[in-house]
């Protein structure tokens, strides 16, 4: 019996030793890094976050084999600023990617705004550590600054060795027979003004011909010319959105203009597969930035009508299938245990995306609000799933505040890199938390912006376990009580469309995650102390901000024909190199 006990003890020690040795070896080597980022996906749209009607077995597999975060927060509720924060680990207001006007995302490939060249992305730092870096899918961080081929904002100028995808984002305009999505209200006004001018010209001409109006033909001609120039000035951009914005690029070359949506998903998947195969000896960074599940929700025939949630559910299930194909490739190539994999969404689901009674946007679970709302949880709380077999414990759930900005220091740490010392990095390294070596998030305060306007602040009071959240500004829902800004497309950040709160609305998310019952000094003894502490945190945060050029200014977001990416001679921009 004594010998048997000694044998068991020796075997146990040996097992622990080899496990620790394997873990150490895995941590010492540089893992491949695979990042999945969905577009407009709600936290309530996938199975591992409680949805039992949309089938997402592959994303659920990641959660089952890894770590799931329940308080994963986007730094902004819209694509362009949220992705800028993801790539740089910094609040978008620090890089100039936060807007003070109503244009809160880039509007054109031919705009001059975008992620500044002096911002250092995680791709750049991993490139310096010997990684081959690739981006497949959506960019939406700008293309050029002063000429169509300077590519100052292009992925290849921000640390990616290879790019295949959309420099912009999907829009309804990219699909035939869909209602326009880009600047609809402005287009309606421009059409009205053009029609008024045309009617005036016809009236003057008729009046002159029948002798009712005494006016010189030269004046009518000048008026006609001015009207024609006005029409051309706006229709040359808004009349050809499909050609100007809906394009595919490989590195610096335009390959489809306009893109063929019916084969885009298969092309993206093929490119991701080929990148992994080319670089299977690693290390590599692959950022798969899905065009799913943004409108127009173009879905291939294989998935149409297969879900229980119409076109939106079909699109989610197609994206999950693509995730599965890439994960299967990792298994086949023997890369699964040597790849750090991450899945998230850039912000919450788009509640206002509707076609009649059909919902074309995501579901944000129990959380109030959605895309475009800087403060409410539904706009910024997103899925966050990690997997690294043998290093991260499988089946783990972490209920601590984390941010999409945390990916930056996390992957830089895994690659053996050093964070920039000349700027503020707002993200925190998640590795200790993901491995279970730390029990609490390093974030004490998180600041929730809508454009460049601070709407809310979150305080993780670690000693008590409370997660306080104060709303200083909230959008005015339309119709009242609807929970979104229906009829407007997206909720505004300022002006008559918001309400300012003094004192702010206060919630304890640990007790009220749905933000249903605001606290007051009468119902919460710590109300005044919490508000004072948050006020001090805001002052300290603002002292760290420095003025930078606003990349989303009206001038920077407007269409400039001399910046238009074009596969032929502008304005004859039409090609299908993929088909060729």
- Alpha-carbon torsion, ordered 103, 104, 108, 109, to 10 deg: 150
Instruction: Say yes or no to pLDDT of 567 above 90.
Output: yes
Distances (CA, A) of 311 to 178, 315, 317, 359, 360: 14, 6, 10, 9, 7
> Residue 449: inside a domain, yes or no?
no
Nearest residue to 282 (alpha-carbon basis) of 133, 414, 408:
133
Domain count, the chain: 2
- DSSP label at residue 388: -
Separation CA 562–CA 309 (nearest Å)? 43
Residue 384 shares a structural domain with residue 404: yes
Q: Please indicate, yes or no, whether residues 255 and 224 belong to a single structural domain of this protein.
A: no
In this structure, are 232 and 260 located in the same domain? no
Residue 450 lies inside a defined structural domain of this protein: no
Quick one: average pLDDT of 200-207? 91
Q: Indicate the Cα dihedral angle 439, 33, 97, 490, nearest 10°.
A: -80
Question: Dihedral angle at the C-alpha atoms of 268, 378, 86, 323, nearest 10 degrees?
Answer: -30
Query: Which whole number is the average pLDDT over 541-546?
Result: 97
Q: Cβ contacts of residue 18 below 8 Å, gap of 6+? A: none
Q: Are residues 165 and 56 part of one domain? A: yes
Q: Is 139 exposed, middle or buried (0-12, 13-18, 19+ CB in 10 A)?
A: buried
Are 374 and 389 in a shared domain?
A: yes
pLDDT tens digits for 242-295? 999 999 999 999 999 999 999 999 999 999 999 999 999 989 999 999 999 999
- The reply to whether 141 and 255 lie within a common domain is yes
φ, ψ dihedrals at 253, nearest 5°: -100, 135
Domain assignment of residue 203, yes or no: yes
pTM comes to 0.93
Name the residue among 42, 66, 92 with its Cα closest to residue 292.
42
Encode pLDDT of 381-405 as tens digits. 999 999 999 999 999 999 999 999 9
For the stretch 331-370, pLDDT in tens is 999 999 999 999 999 999 999 999 888 899 999 999 999 9
Segment 203-220 mean pLDDT: 88
Do residues 83 and 203 both lie within one domain?
no
Q: Which of 3, 48, 72, 140 is catalytic?
A: 140
For residue 86, being part of any structural domain is answered with yes
Tell me whether residue 156 is in a domain: yes
Q: Kindly give the pairing relationship between strand 248-250 and strand 253-257.
A: antiparallel
Q: What's the domain range around 423?
A: 30-170+246-443+549-563
Same domain, yes or no: 153 and 45 = yes
What does the mean pLDDT of the chain come to? 93
Same domain, 225 and 336: no
Host H or E run for residue 456: strand 453-461
Catalytic status, residue 471: no
The verdict on residue 507 lying in a domain is no
Residues 415/125, Cβ–Cβ less than 8 Å:
yes
289 and 335 part of one domain: yes
Taking the C-alpha atoms of residue 179 and residue 185, their distance in angstroms, rounded to an integer, is: 12
373: domain CATH number? 3.40.720.10
d(CA 107, CA 293): 19
* Interstrand relation of 284-289 and 339-345 (parallel, antiparallel or unpaired): unpaired
140 is catalytic: yes
The active-site residue out of 48, 79, 246, 573 is 79
Residues 165 and 42 in one domain: yes
Q: What tokens does 555 get?
A: 């001038």
Could you tell me if 269 and 288 lie in one domain?
yes
């Amino acid at each position: 019996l004594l010998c048997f006990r000694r044998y068991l003890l020796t075997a146990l020690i040996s097992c622990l030793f080899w496990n620790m040795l394997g873990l150490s070896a895995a941590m010492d080597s540089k893992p491949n890094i695979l990042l999945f980022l969905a577009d407009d996906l709600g936290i309530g749209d996938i199975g591992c976050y409680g949805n039992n009607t949309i089938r997402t077995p592959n994303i659920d597999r990641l959660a089952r084999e890894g770590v799931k975060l329940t308080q994963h927060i986007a730094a902004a509720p819209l694509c362009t600023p949220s992705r800028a924060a993801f790539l740089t680990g910094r609040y978008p207001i620090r890089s100039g990617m936060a807007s003070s006007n109503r244009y809160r995302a880039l509007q054109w490939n031919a705009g001059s705004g975008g992620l500044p060249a002096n911002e250092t992305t995680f791709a750049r730092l991993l490139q310096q550590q010997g990684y081959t870096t690739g981006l497949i899918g959506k960019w939406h961080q700008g293309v050029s600054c002063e000429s169509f081929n300077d590519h100052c904002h292009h992925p290849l100028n921000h640390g990616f060795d290879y790019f295949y995808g959309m420099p912009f984002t999907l829009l309804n305009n990219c699909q035939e027979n869909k209602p326009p999505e880009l600047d609809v209200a402005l287009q309606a006004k421009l059409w009205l003004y053009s029609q008024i001018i045309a009617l005036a010209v016809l009236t003057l001409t008729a009046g002159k011909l029948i002798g009712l109006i005494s006016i010189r033909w030269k004046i009518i001609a000048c008026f006609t010319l001015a009207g024609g120039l006005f029409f051309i000035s706006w229709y040359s951009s808004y009349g050809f959105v499909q050609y100007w914005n809906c394009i595919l690029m490989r590195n610096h070359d335009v390959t489809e203009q306009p893109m063929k949506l019916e084969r885009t998903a298969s092309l993206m998947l093929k490119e991701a597969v080929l990148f992994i195969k080319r670089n299977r000896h690693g290390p590599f960074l692959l950022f798969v930035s899905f065009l799913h599940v943004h409108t127009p929700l173009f879905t291939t025939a294989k998935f149409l009508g297969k879900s229980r949630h119409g076109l939106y559910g079909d699109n989610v299930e197609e994206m999950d299938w693509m995730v599965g194909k890439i994960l299967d490739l990792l298994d086949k190539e023997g890369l699964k245990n040597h790849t750090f994999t991450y899945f998230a969404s850039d912000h919450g689901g788009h509640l206002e995306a509707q076609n009649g009674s059909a919902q074309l946007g995501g579901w944000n679970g129990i959380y109030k609000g959605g895309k475009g709302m800087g403060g409410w949880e539904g706009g910024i709380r997103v899925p966050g799933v990690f997997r690294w077999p043998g290093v991260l414990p499988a089946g783990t759930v972490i209920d601590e505040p984390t941010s999409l900005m945390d990916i930056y220091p996390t992957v830089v740490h895994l690659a053996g890199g050093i964070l920039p010392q000349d700027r503020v990095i707002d993200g925190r390294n998640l590795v200790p938390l993901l491995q279970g070596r730390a029990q609490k998030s390093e974030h004490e305060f998180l600041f929730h912006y809508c454009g460049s306007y601070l709407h809310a602040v979150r305080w993780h009071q670690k000693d008590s376990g409370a997660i306080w959240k104060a709303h200083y500004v909230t959008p005015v829902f339309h119709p009242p009580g609807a929970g979104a800004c229906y009829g407007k497309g997206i909720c505004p950040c300022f002006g008559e469309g918001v309400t300012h709160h003094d004192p702010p609305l206060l919630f304890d998310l640990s007790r009220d995650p749905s933000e249903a019952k605001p606290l007051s000094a009468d119902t919460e003894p710590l109300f005044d102390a919490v508000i004072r502490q948050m006020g001090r945190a805001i002052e300290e945060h603002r002292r760290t901000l420095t003025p930078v050029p606003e990349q989303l200014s009206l001038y920077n977001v407007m269409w400039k024909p001399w910046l238009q990416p074009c596969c032929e001679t502008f304005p004859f921009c039409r090609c299908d190199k993929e088909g060729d």
